[in-house]
Amino acid sequence: MLTTPTYPYLKRSHATLLVLAVVFVHWWLLAGAPLWWSPEKRQTLRPQAMVTRTIETSTPRAAQVPTVKPNRAVRTPTDLPKPAPDPIDPKEQNTSPEYNTTTPNPAPTAPAKPDTQPLAAPQELADLTAPVALPARSASAVDLPPFKRAAPDAPDASNLTVTTSFKAPASAVLSYKMQGQAKGLTYWANGELLWQQDGQRYDARLEVSAFLVGSRTQTSTGTLGPEGLMPTRFGDKTRSELAAHFQRDKNIISFSANSPSVPLLKGAQDRLSVIIQLGALLAGDPERYPTGTMLSFQTVSQREAEVWQFSVEKEEMLPLPYGNVMTVKLNRSPRREFDQRIEVWLAPDLGYLPVRLRVTNANGDWIDQALKSVEKPTP
């Protein structure tokens, strides 16, 4: 069998060639040959002569904006419609000569002088601007609006009731059973009127108290004189007391609530004394006040004074917790929008003291007090 001869020297030559090839490649790389995948331009191994270039600089020219020919006619500002002048304030139009192409506005005419006269002469203005010493504010003072407060009713004194004769009732303590309604809710309370007089002075005190609600007390003190009851002080107290003072030496009525003082008219009463005054007048001359008679009084509260007018109505038998009592009813009808309606029943057999009193507010709330007992005050 024939075999292929081997040549050991050939194997050695192949290894020698491989080593030489590897050495050549390393030398080539170290010599700085460019790589073929490099993006730079290939350079030859031969040295190149140095080449210099001269760069000439020149002043740059302004960029030219190409002229664009519009496809349609361009309207110049003079072709545009001119805006109409502002009808509200023509003075705000542009008056610059660069932009204003309209005729300047005519000079404004002076406004017509009003027909009304000036509010105050210079002398009056000087008085109004003079410093005024204001009274000290109390804890219960009421903030008044900055404008002038409307003056209360100033009735003609000739329309007020003139006292010819009166008879003050004897001192007594009257207890009342009271029922009322406020904001749709019904409530019950107790009331007591303490009336005392010695022929020269009088004191009246009405206290109303309700469970879990508290109490309210009205007081009236004064003298008995030619006009019947002549109050000197009226007080109204819930948590704190507000009072009105009848300053007869000055003929004014002042208020602790910082309300402005008002003139004191003849026969003036307060909200508590006016009820006793009605009975004293009827007791002094019952024939003088038939049905339909109107009695008018300047009536004072803790903040203001107004005129109350009572009309005398017919007699009627009234059933009360105290019993059946013959009474004369007097009615104060509202004269203005927020006035109270006041109905009072006086008993001739009890010195014309009030045995029933009903007060109805403009919003429909009411309170009704009915006599349940009468006693003499303790000394």
Q: For the whole model, what pTM was predicted? A: 0.59
Between residues 117 and 188, the one the model is more confident about: 188
Arithmetic mean of pLDDT, 34-39 = 37
Q: Which of 50-54, 60-64, 116-120, 121-125 has the lowest mean pLDDT?
A: 121-125
Per residue in 132-186, pLDDT (tens digit) is 333 333 333 333 233 233 344 444 555 677 667 899 999 999 999 999 999 999 9
CATH number, domain containing residue 312: 2.50.20
E strand or H helix that includes residue 280 = helix 273-284
- Distant-in-sequence, close-in-space partners of 260: CB < 8 Å, separation ≥ 6: 149
Q: Predicted confidence band at 319 (pLDDT cuts at 50, 70, 90)?
A: very high
**Which range (19-28, 269-278, 303-312, 315-324) has the least confidence?**
19-28
Is position 281 within any domain?
yes
Q: Classify residue 180: in a domain, yes or no.
A: yes
What average pLDDT does range 185-191 have in this prediction? Answer: 94
Chain Cα centroid distance, residue 81: 52
State percent of the chain over pLDDT 90. Answer: 51
Q: What rounded mean pLDDT belongs to the chain?
A: 74
Nearest to 379 by CA among 208, 218, 173: 173
Residue 42 covered by a domain: no
Tens digit of each residue's pLDDT (9 = 90 or more) over 70-94: 455 545 444 555 555 555 444 444 4
One-letter amino acid of 171: S
Read out DSSP for 190-204?
A: EEEEEEEE-SSEEEE
Structure confidence at residue 62 as a pLDDT band (50, 70, 90): low
Identify the helix (H) or strand (E) that includes residue 34.
Answer: none
pLDDT score of 327 more than 50: yes
Is 262 part of any domain?
yes
Residue with more model confidence, 94 or 214: 214
Q: Tell me whether residue 366 is in a domain.
A: yes
Q: Residue 96: is its pLDDT beyond 70?
A: no
Domain that holds residue 311: 171-375
| Three-class secondary structure of residue 146 per DSSP | coil
Give domain status of residue 69, yes or no. Answer: no
Percent of the chain at pLDDT above 70? 59
Question: Is 125 inside a domain boundary?
Answer: no
Query: Is 76 part of any domain?
Result: no
Overall size of the chain counted in residues? 379
* Number of compact structural domains in the chain: 1
User: What is d(CA 277, CA 273) in angstroms, rounded to the nearest whole number?
Assistant: 6
